[in-house]
Amino acid sequence: MIEHYAGNFPLWLAPDQVRLLPFGDDQVEYAKEVVSELRKHEVRVSLDTTSDKIGARIRRAETEKVHTILLVGQREQEAGNLAVREHGKGDLGAKPKAEVISNLLERIKTRQG
Protein backbone atom coordinates (compact mmCIF):
# COMPACT_ATOMS: atom_id res chain seq x y z
CA MET A 1 0.00 0.00 0.00
CA ILE A 2 2.84 2.34 0.92
CA GLU A 3 4.54 1.64 -2.42
CA HIS A 4 1.29 1.79 -4.35
CA TYR A 5 0.82 5.39 -3.22
CA ALA A 6 4.57 6.16 -3.07
CA GLY A 7 3.78 7.86 0.24
CA ASN A 8 1.23 10.25 -1.32
CA PHE A 9 -1.79 8.82 0.45
CA PRO A 10 -5.34 9.90 -0.36
CA LEU A 11 -6.95 12.33 2.04
CA TRP A 12 -8.81 9.75 4.15
CA LEU A 13 -5.65 7.69 4.66
CA ALA A 14 -2.97 10.39 4.91
CA PRO A 15 -1.29 10.55 8.34
CA ASP A 16 -1.15 14.36 7.95
CA GLN A 17 -4.44 15.34 6.41
CA VAL A 18 -4.51 19.10 6.80
CA ARG A 19 -2.10 21.85 7.87
CA LEU A 20 -2.96 25.47 8.58
CA LEU A 21 -0.41 28.10 7.60
CA PRO A 22 -1.24 31.63 8.87
CA PHE A 23 0.85 34.28 7.08
CA GLY A 24 1.39 36.42 10.15
CA ASP A 25 0.59 36.67 13.87
CA ASP A 26 -2.70 38.42 13.12
CA GLN A 27 -4.03 35.33 11.40
CA VAL A 28 -3.12 32.82 14.13
CA GLU A 29 -6.43 33.14 15.99
CA TYR A 30 -8.45 32.59 12.81
CA ALA A 31 -6.30 29.57 11.92
CA LYS A 32 -6.73 28.12 15.40
CA GLU A 33 -10.51 28.29 15.04
CA VAL A 34 -10.28 26.23 11.86
CA VAL A 35 -7.97 23.75 13.57
CA SER A 36 -10.34 23.15 16.45
CA GLU A 37 -13.34 22.90 14.13
CA LEU A 38 -11.55 20.18 12.10
CA ARG A 39 -10.26 18.41 15.20
CA LYS A 40 -13.80 18.18 16.51
CA HIS A 41 -14.52 16.07 13.42
CA GLU A 42 -11.44 13.89 14.00
CA VAL A 43 -9.46 15.36 11.13
CA ARG A 44 -5.69 15.02 11.59
CA VAL A 45 -4.79 18.68 11.41
CA SER A 46 -1.72 20.67 12.45
CA LEU A 47 -0.74 24.32 12.66
CA ASP A 48 2.61 25.76 11.60
CA THR A 49 3.20 29.14 13.24
CA THR A 50 6.99 29.12 13.02
CA SER A 51 8.62 32.33 11.84
CA ASP A 52 9.86 30.74 8.61
CA LYS A 53 8.83 32.41 5.37
CA ILE A 54 5.52 31.14 4.00
CA GLY A 55 7.28 29.56 0.99
CA ALA A 56 9.56 27.57 3.28
CA ARG A 57 6.62 26.42 5.37
CA ILE A 58 4.75 25.26 2.25
CA ARG A 59 7.81 23.34 1.05
CA ARG A 60 8.17 21.70 4.45
CA ALA A 61 4.52 20.63 4.46
CA GLU A 62 4.98 19.22 0.98
CA THR A 63 8.07 17.19 1.83
CA GLU A 64 6.22 15.89 4.86
CA LYS A 65 3.46 14.85 2.42
CA VAL A 66 0.70 16.80 4.13
CA HIS A 67 -2.36 16.24 1.95
CA THR A 68 -4.06 19.63 2.08
CA ILE A 69 -2.53 22.96 3.06
CA LEU A 70 -4.83 25.79 4.11
CA LEU A 71 -3.28 29.24 3.86
CA VAL A 72 -4.58 32.27 5.73
CA GLY A 73 -3.43 35.74 4.76
CA GLN A 74 -5.00 39.02 5.68
CA ARG A 75 -7.20 38.89 2.59
CA GLU A 76 -8.54 35.41 3.39
CA GLN A 77 -9.15 36.38 6.99
CA GLU A 78 -11.15 39.46 6.08
CA ALA A 79 -13.27 37.54 3.57
CA GLY A 80 -13.71 34.52 5.87
CA ASN A 81 -11.93 32.38 3.28
CA LEU A 82 -9.21 29.75 3.18
CA ALA A 83 -6.70 29.37 0.35
CA VAL A 84 -6.37 25.69 -0.53
CA ARG A 85 -3.23 23.91 -1.75
CA GLU A 86 -3.37 20.21 -2.34
CA HIS A 87 -0.47 17.80 -2.55
CA GLY A 88 0.22 16.98 -6.18
CA LYS A 89 -2.39 19.50 -7.43
CA GLY A 90 -0.90 22.79 -6.27
CA ASP A 91 -2.87 25.98 -5.72
CA LEU A 92 -6.66 25.53 -5.86
CA GLY A 93 -7.64 29.08 -4.92
CA ALA A 94 -9.56 30.59 -1.99
CA LYS A 95 -13.01 29.46 -0.92
CA PRO A 96 -15.33 30.26 2.01
CA LYS A 97 -14.21 28.61 5.24
CA ALA A 98 -17.41 26.62 5.77
CA GLU A 99 -17.31 25.26 2.22
CA VAL A 100 -13.69 24.17 2.54
CA ILE A 101 -14.36 22.39 5.81
CA SER A 102 -17.51 20.60 4.68
CA ASN A 103 -15.74 19.58 1.47
CA LEU A 104 -12.89 18.03 3.43
CA LEU A 105 -15.23 16.20 5.78
CA GLU A 106 -17.30 14.83 2.92
CA ARG A 107 -14.22 13.57 1.06
CA ILE A 108 -12.86 11.88 4.16
CA LYS A 109 -16.18 10.25 4.93
CA THR A 110 -16.66 8.86 1.43
CA ARG A 111 -12.95 8.06 1.02
CA GLN A 112 -12.92 9.90 -2.30
CA GLY A 113 -9.35 10.82 -3.25
Partner 1 sequence: MESAKHDVQRKTLEERNQMSDLERLRHSCAHVLATAVLRLWPDAKLDIGPPTAEGFYYDFDLEHRFSPEDFEAIEAEMKKVTKENQTFERSTKTREEAKAYYAERGQNFKVERVDDIPEGEEISFYQNGEFVDLCAGPHVMRTGNIKAFKLLRVAAAYYRGNEKNPQLQRIYGTAFKNKTQLNEWLEAQEEARKRDHRKIGREMQLFAFDDDVGPGLPLWLPKGTVLIEELEKLAKETEFEAGYERVRTPHLARENMYKTSGHLPYYAESMFPPMEVKDDDPDKPTDRIYLKAMNCPHHHKIFSAVPRSYRELPLRLAEYGTCYRYERSGELMGLMRVRSMQMNDAHIYCTPEQFADEFRAVNEMYLKYFKIFGFEKYSMRFSTHSPDRLGDKYVDEAELWKQTENMVRDVLVESGVDFEEVPDEAAFYGPKIDVQVYSISGREFTIATNQVDFAVPKRFGLEYKTRENTPEML
Give the contacts of 28 (CB within 8 A, at least 6 positions apart): 22, 49
Taken in order 26, 32, 33, 35, is the CA torsion positive or negative? positive
Comparison of 74 and 112: residue with beta carbon closer to partner 1: 112
For partner 1, which is the closer residue by CB, 12 or 28?
Answer: 12
Kindly state the number of chain residues that form the binding site for partner 1, as judged by CB under 8 A.
Answer: 15
Binding of partner 1 by 111 (CB under 8 A): yes
x-marked contacts with partner 1 along 34-73 as a string, rule CB under 8 A: ----------x-------------------xx--------
Contact in structure between 20 and 66 (CB atoms under 8 Å): no
